[in-house]
C-alpha cells in the first residue's frame, strides 16, 4: 500500500471510530472477526429522538374528530333554538353535523363542543359546577356564547349572585354595585341602528341595519372586552352595547356576549348573526383541537 493509500486508510479508520463513539453508527465485523477496510460495514442509525407526550384529550388529525358535534345549551328548549343549533357544514374536506343538548343550570354537562347559556328564566341561574366547567372548557378550546342576564344568578346562594362569581375573568361583562348592594342589569327598549364597530372575523361582510322596539340588557364591560357591535342613534350619541367579546388566546375558546335575545329571535337578521357565530365557533373548535 502506497503512502496515499495508507493516509486514506488512516483517515477512514479514524472517522469510523469517531462515529462509533458518537453512537451514530454500528460496526459489523467480517466473518473472520478481523477489522479491515474490506469488511468494515458502517450502518447509519436513526437518532434517539423523544417525541412529545400528547394530552389524552388531544387527537392528532381531523380524521379523528367526531362527525356529530354537540352544542350544550343551558336554557329553555324552544323550536327557534333547536333550529339554530342544528345543521351541518364542511370543514377541511370533511362533512360535520351538529345538534343541541339542553340542560338546566344545575345539571351535569356532558361532552360539549360549544357552550351556550340563554338569557331566559332558566339560563339566568347557573350553579357553581357549571361555572367551573365553563371556565375549564374555554381554556381547552371550547367557545362560549351567552345572552342578556345568563350566568347572572346562583339560585343556591344569593350572596354570590352576579357575573363576578367564578367567571369574572372569563366573560366580557361585569357586575355593577351601589355601595355593597348588587345592581341587577336593567332591561330597556331601543329603536336605533345596529352597527358593527370592530371588524370581527366572525361576521366579516355583514351589514348594519335598523332595529325597532328591541329589548336589550344594559351592561358594564370588563376592561379587556372588545365591543364588536352596538346600538347607536348617531355617531356622537351615547350607545348601548350589542355584542362584546373576550380577547382569546391561540388555544382558548372565544367568549361572546349578546345584549339582545340572540338564541330565540324571530328576526331574520339576528338569526343570521347567531347562525354565523355557531358555524364559526364550531369550526374554530375543530381547528384548535385537531390538526388539519
Across 37-52, average pLDDT? 38
CA 216 to each of CA 85, 132, 147, 190: distance values in angstroms, whole numbers, following the listed order: 22, 27, 10, 7
Burial class (CB in 10 A: 0-12, 13-18, 19+), 68: exposed
Residue 65 scores a pLDDT above 90: no
Q: What is the pLDDT of residue 249?
A: 81
- Predicted pLDDT of residue 177: 65
Query: If pLDDT is split at 50, 70 and 90, which confidence band does 190 have?
Result: very high
In angstroms, the CA 221 to CA 230 distance is 12
pLDDT value at 7 more than 60: no
> Which phi and psi angles does 284 have, rounded to 5°?
-65, -40
pTM (two decimals): 0.76
- What per-residue confidence (pLDDT) applies to 178? 60
Q: What is the domain range of residue 25?
A: 3-44
Instruction: Report which of residues 35 and 271 the model is more confident about.
Output: 271
- Asked, for residue 38, whether it belongs to a domain, the answer is yes
Q: Residues with Cβ < 8 Å from 180, sequence gap 6 or more?
A: none
Q: Is residue 200 part of a domain?
A: yes
Whether residues 40 and 66 fall in one domain: no
pLDDT digits (tens, 9 = 90+) for 192-240: 999 998 867 899 999 999 999 999 998 888 888 899 999 986 655 556 8
Give rounded-to-5 percent helix, strand, coil for the chain: 25, 30, 45
The total of structural domains in the chain comes to 2
Q: Is the pLDDT of residue 30 over 80?
A: no
Are 26 and 113 found together in one domain? no
Amino acid at each position: 500500500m502506497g503512502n496515499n493509500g495508507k493516509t486514506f486508510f488512516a483517515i477512514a479508520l479514524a472517522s469510523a471510530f469517531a462515529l462509533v463513539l458518537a453512537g451514530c453508527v454500528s460496526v459489523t465485523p467480517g466473518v473472520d472477526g478481523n477489522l479491515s477496510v474490506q469488511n468494515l460495514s458502517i450502518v447509519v442509525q436513526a437518532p434517539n429522538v423523544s417525541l412529545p407526550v400528547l394530552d389524552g384529550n388531544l387527537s392528532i388529525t381531523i380524521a379523528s374528530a367526531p362527525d356529530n358535534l354537540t352544542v350544550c345549551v343551558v336554557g329553555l328548549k324552544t323550536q327557534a333554538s333547536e333550529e339554530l343549533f342544528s345543521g351541518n357544514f364542511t370543514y377541511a374536506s370533511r362533512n360535520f353535523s351538529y345538534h343541541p343538548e339542553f340542560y338546566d343550570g344545575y345539571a351535569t354537562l356532558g361532552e360539549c363542543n360549544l357552550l351556550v347559556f340563554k338569557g331566559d328564566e332558566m339560563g339566568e341561574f347557573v350553579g357553581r359546577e357549571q361555572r367551573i366547567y365553563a371556565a375549564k372548557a374555554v381554556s381547552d378550546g371550547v367557545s362560549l356564547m351567552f345572552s342578556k342576564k345568563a350566568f347572572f344568578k346562583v339560585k343556591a346562594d344569593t350572596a354570590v349572585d352576579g357575573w363576578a362569581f367564578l367567571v369574572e375573568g372569563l366573560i366580557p361583562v361585569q357586575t355593577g354595585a351601589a355601595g355593597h348592594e348588587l345592581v341587577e342589569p336593567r332591561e330597556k327598549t331601543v329603536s336605533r341602528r345596529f352597527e358593527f364597530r370592530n371588524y370581527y372575523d366572525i361576521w366579516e361582510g355583514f351589514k348594519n341595519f335598523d332595529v325597532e322596539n328591541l329589548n336589550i340588557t344594559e351592561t358594564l364591560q370588563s376592561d379587556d372586552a372588545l365591543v364588536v357591535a352596538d346600538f347607536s342613534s348617531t355617531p356622537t350619541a351615547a350607545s348601548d352595547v350589542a355584542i362584546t367579546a373576550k380577547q382569546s388566546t391561540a388555544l382558548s375558546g372565544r367568549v361572546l356576549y349578546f345584549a339582545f335575545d340572540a338564541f330565540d329571535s324571530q328576526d331574520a337578521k339576528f338569526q343570521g348573526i347567531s347562525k354565523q357565530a355557531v358555524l364559526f365557533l364550531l369550526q374554530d373548535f375543530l381547528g384548535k383541537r385537531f390538526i388539519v
